[in-house]
A and B are shown apart, each in its own frame.
Chain A
Amino acid sequence: MNRHAIWAIYRVEMARTVRTLLQSVVSPVISTSLYFVVFGAAIGSRIDQIDGVSYGAFIVPGLIMLSLLTQSISNASFGIYFPKFVGTIYELLSAPVSYLEIVIAYVGAAATKSTAIGLIILATSSLFVPLHIEHPFWMLAFLILTAVTFSLFGFIIGIWAGTFEQLQLVPLLIVTPLTFLGGSFYSIDMLPGIWRTITLFSPVVYLVSGFRWAFFGKADVSLGLSLGMTLAFLFACVAVIAWIFRTGYRLRT
């Protein structure tokens, strides 16, 4: 194991977060606060409770998931796309590092960042609504699991993307719609029949549901299903990455 290499990459990636603190940490916190104002105060005042939880508190897990997904994807995709774009990837490819080490370093850094942002948003939320977390361990486990899974997904996008436009394409066209269809701001029981069925195809439903269970002990789908679907997506990403490195896809052309 080339741990010096993992550490070197990880440190550079984390250093970029610190350098761009405003963009990478402050902006998600501000936008989440705005969600609270709009959904929690303006709309939430007209919705009593969902499953016995006040609407303001109900949307907290969804909001954290929303940021966690987008941040994991953007951090990880940018982290590997940027060296490709400026050409410094030559050094990574010529270095004595294994695929596993590359993935651990880049995905680890991206997941660390988004987990930290998730926790910051959680802390911010507690300023707006009284929060009680039913299963803190599972909350943290879902947080980290999701961060790692979607950082892996972002890593794939970063390797696939040939232009900055493509880099934005998947998050904008797929991830954002999936998140809104994923029950972040509502219980999927509130949707009319056909839409309810459609949302069950969104992996985000299972993430949010599991995460919400960790908070309130109540969920749209069972915990086992949530965990299973998340793990299934994780392994799908790992399989794609293994294939990318085995074939040199878009890396060693």
Chain B
Amino acid sequence: MQPAIAISGVSKTYASGFNALKSVDLDIKHGEIFALLGPNGAGKTTLISIVCGIVNRSSGTVSVNGNDIDRDYRMARSLIGLVPQELTVESFETVRSALTFSRGLFGKPANPALIEQILKDLSLWDKRDAKIITLSGGMKRRVMIGKALAHEPKILFLDEPSAGVDVELRQDMWAMVRRLRESGVTIILTTHYIEEAEEMADRVGVINRGEIVLVENKEELMRKLGRKQLRLELRHPLDAVPQALAGYGLELSADGGTLTYTYDNQSERPGVASLLRDLVTEGIAFRDLDTLNSSLEEIFVNLVRKAS
């Protein structure tokens, strides 16, 4: 089967000479939630804009469901819904007419019942006849999501969807994303909130300085690159780590009361069980212990730091 989106060798150099993308290759699978992570200016929005037809690329090819975005642009674009990062709305339109307009623009016949359903799902039904200019920022964001969904896209782009959005809307939005995914919609999101990618995404791509640094299943990524830490609160403070435990690379806190052991799943270091055994042998008693999983955020920061 064709991938939902196939990006191959896409580069973009702006007129200013800024090289925003350097030969990006990326396939998005059908029905997945794909999170694109990257620092500001990494090229996330440029990449999305190219796929959606808003920005011309300098080279490379993109196809949506097998439709080339130049040759078969009608088919390609009608499959895609886009919620851009910036809050840009027609201030003087009403909420409902804005959604009706979007649906028409994408070549679909009017469907008031569907528009009503979308507005209800987004808690906008009460505001259906309000002018958009009178809405709060969060409500405007909902309108933009509604506009993107009005033509029943098969692929949805959410560019920084939770920037400046309150907790309630964020939860509503993620509930909606899950519903959409269940109905077979492919979702690509960029976000700064890495815990969201961690919670939502099936796969994660990391982009930095216009290059895809990594694409991986989220679980795989966490397993491969995730680090764990074991912290031991000692019953009696130590002056130094005993010689016999040197191989573990332990860190002793300044007051000598806490030992931290960092390990990962592919570590050459001996495991937790043998550390605990050796502690007993050395006569070191501990009062408490806890373990920490590194989050996707730490993985991400490490990757980006390594790349730059």
B-binding residues in A (CB < 8 A):
2, 4-5, 7-9, 11-12, 15-16, 19, 83, 86-88, 90-98, 248, 252-253
Contacts and interface: CB of A to CB of B under 8 A. Distances in A.
Interface in B80-101: 80, 82, 84, 86, 88-93, 97, 100-101
Interface of B: 14-15, 49, 52-56, 73-78, 80, 82, 84, 86, 88-93, 97, 100-109, 147
B107 A2 contact: yes
A86 B89 CA distance: 7
B101 A94 contact: no
A15 B38 CA distance: 41
B91 A94 contact: no
A4 B88 contact: no
Given A7-B104, A252-B56, 4 more contacts: A4-B104, A4-B109, A15-B97, A86-B88
B74 A96 contact: yes
A16 B131 CA distance: 13
Contacts of B103: 4, 8
Contacts of B73: 96
A88 B88 contact: yes
A87 B54 contact: no
Contacts, number: 86
Contacts of A86: 88-91
Nearest to A86: B88
Given A5-B104, A8-B104, A96-B77, A90 B92 contact: no
24 contacts: A2-B107, A4-B103, A4-B107, A4-B108, A4-B109, A5-B107, A9-B105, A12-B90, A15-B97, A19-B92, A86-B89, A87-B86, A88-B88, A90-B49, A90-B52, A93-B53, A94-B77, A94-B82, A96-B73, A96-B75, A96-B107, A97-B107, A248-B56, A252-B55
A5 B105 contact: yes
Given A86-B91, A252-B56, A253-B55, A92 B105 contact: yes
Nearest to B88: A87
Contacts of B86: 87
A153 B109 CA distance: 31
A11 to B, nearest CB: 8
A14 B173 CA distance: 34
Interface hub of A12, A16, A87 (most chain B Cβ within 10 A): A12
Nearest to B54: A93
Contact of B84 (A2, A5, A15, A90): A90
B15 A88 contact: no
A204 B136 CA distance: 48
A89 B90 CA distance: 10
Contacts of A98: 74
B106 A5 contact: yes
Contacts of B89: 86, 88
A97 B54 contact: no
5 smallest CB-CB distances across A and B, nearest first, come from A8-B104, A87-B88, A96-B74, A96-B77, A94-B52
